[in-house]
Amino acid sequence: MADGANAILVRRRRRDQPPAAGTARGKRGDRALAALAAVFTLAQLALVRPVLLLGWDEIVYVSQVTSHTPAAFFSAPRSRGVSLLVAPVAAWSSSVPLLRVYLAVLSGAALFLALRAWRGLFPTRVLVVGGALFATLWTTLFYGPQAMPNYWVAIGALISVGCFLRARRERSARAALWGVAAGGVLMALMRPGDALWVALPLLALALARRHWRLLLVLAAGLAAGALPWVIEAWLGHGGLAQRLSDASRIQGGLGWQFAVDDQLRSLGGRALCRPCTGSVPHPVVTVWWFALPVLAGLAVAVAARARRLERTLVPLACAATAAVPYLFMIGYAAPRFLQPAYALLAIPAADALWHVVRRPGGSWRPVAAALVALGLAGHLAVQIAVLEGAVARNTDSRRDWDRTAGALHRLGVRPPCLLTGHEAIPIGYYTGCSSGATSGHNENTTVPEILRTADRLPVAHLAPAGGTPPKYARAWPVHRVSDLDVRVAPRP
C-alpha cells in the first residue's frame, strides 16, 4: 500500500510539474517581449526625438481635443480614434515633447500586448523576432510616437488575429474572445475601412466553420468601433452613403488603380507620395519589400510540413486583404498605409527565418545563420538611415510652419484669427488661428463668410510666392514671408 501511495504521489507530482514549467516559460516569454517593447520605446525617443513638431494630419487629430487652438476641419475619411487616444495629454497640455513621450510609451506597451496575444501559437523566439522585424521598420519607428492611426490599426490587427486563432484552438478561452472584440474596436475606431479589410478573412472563416460566437464577437467589436463614425456621418455629412462618397472623392476616387509602384517610391522616406512621381529608391532600400512574399511562401511550406497551416495562413490572408485597397484601389501612396499588413506578415516571416537558421532537431545551420544575421543587420542599418532622412525633412518643414506663424504674429495676425489658402491648416495651428477653405478637400467656408470675419478679426491669405490670390484677397497688402505671399486683410 505504501508503494501504491508513493506511486500515486509521484504521478500527481508529475502531473503538477508541466503547469509550473509552463508558467516559468510564460514568464520568461513575457520578459523577452517586454524587453523588445522597451527597446522599441527607447528607439523612438532616441531616433525620432520628442521635440519633433506636429505634422499636418497630427494637427487635425490633436486640435479636436485641445483648448489652446481652434479645431481644424475634419474631413470625411477621418475617424476620431486618434483624437481619443491623445486626449489624456492633449486636452490639458500643449507640450509636444510630453505628447511624444506619452505616445512612445503607449505604442511600446501596445506592441507587448499585441505580441503576447500570439503566445502559444508560435514559440517566443518567433514572436520576438517577428516583433523586431515590424518594430525596426522606419515607418513603425517614425509613426509610433506620432498621433496617426495606422500603427494602431496594425496593433488592433495583431490582437484580433492572434486572439481569433487562440479562440479557434481553445473554445472555452474567454480572454481570447475579449481580445478579438478589443482588437476589432481599436481598428474600427482608428480607420473603419481598414478594419473591415483586415477582418474579411476572419469573418469568412468564422462563417464557413460556423463558429457563430466568434463571428458575433468580431462583428460586435467592429460595429462598436465604427459606431461613432457612422453616427457622425448622419449628424454632419448627410448620411452614411454621402460620407462614403465624400471619403472616396477626397482619396481620389476609390476603384481599380495600380499603386504598387507608388508604394515602392514611398519606401525611401516620403511621408506622402501624392502625386507619386520620381524614381524608385535604390534596390538596397526596397529589397526587404520583395523578400516579404518569399518569406511568406516559405512560412506556408514550413507550416504545411509541421501540420499547423491555419496559424500561418490566417495572418497572411489578413495581411493580403489589408494591403489590397492601398495597392490596387487608390492613386497615391504613403508607407504608413501598409503598416497593418507588415505587422501581420512579420510573424510568419520570422517563423520562416528561424526555419532557415535552425535544423528540425534544433541545431544551428552556421552558414545560413551567418547570412541571415548579416542580412538583418544590413536591413536595420538601411531602415535607420531612411528614418534619419525622414525625420530631418519633417523637422525642417514643421519648423518652417512655426517660423511662418511667428512672422504672422509680427504682422498683427494673432488669435482669434483666420487663415486661408496654402497650408492654412498647419500654419493656422501654429499661429493659433482657425483655417478656412472655399474649395478642395477641406472646404468649410464661403467667401462672404471670410469677408464678414475680416470685419471682426485678423484674416490672412497664404499663397506660394508669385502665386495668384483669389479675388477677395487681391487688394489686401502683400508681405513676403519665406517662400509665401501673405496678404493681410485691412482692419475696418
Spatial CA neighbour of 451 closest among 421, 490, 402: 490
Amino acid 271 reads A
pLDDT for 173 equals: 78
| 458 upstream amide cis, omega within 30 of 0 | no
Q: What is the pLDDT of residue 92?
A: 96
**Pairing of β 484-488 and β 434-436:** unpaired
Percent of the chain with pLDDT over 90: 86
Domain borders along the chain are: 2-252, 395-488
Query: What is the pLDDT at residue 21?
Result: 56
Q: Say which residue the cell 460586435 belongs to.
A: 220
Q: Can you tell me the mean pLDDT for 238-267?
A: 92
Q: Quick one: which of 352, 367, 393, 425 has its CA closest to 69?
A: 425
C-alpha cell at 291: 523578400
Q: Please give the C-alpha separations between residue 154 and each of 84, 110, 115, in angstroms, as whole numbers.
A: 17, 10, 11
Average pLDDT, the chain: 93
Average pLDDT over residues 27-37: 93
Give residue-wise pLDDT tens across range 336-382. Answer: 999 999 999 999 999 999 999 998 888 899 999 999 999 999 999 99
Mean pLDDT of 218-226: 98
The owner of cell 489624456 is 88
Considering just the CA atoms, what is the radius of gyration of the chain in Å?
Answer: 26
Q: CA angle 34-286-193, nearest 5°? A: 65
Residue 11's pLDDT is 42
pLDDT at 22 (0 to 100): 58
Residue in 197, 187, 198 with CA at minimum distance from that of residue 222: 187
| CB-based contact 181:174 (threshold 8 Å) | no
Where b means 16+ CB within 10 Å and e means fewer, 15-26 reads: eeeeeeeeeeee
- 121 Cα distance to chain centroid: 24
> Which helix (DSSP H) or strand (DSSP E) does residue 381 occupy?
helix 366-410
What are the angstrom distances between the C-alpha of 439 and each of 196, 273, 443?
A: 31, 22, 5
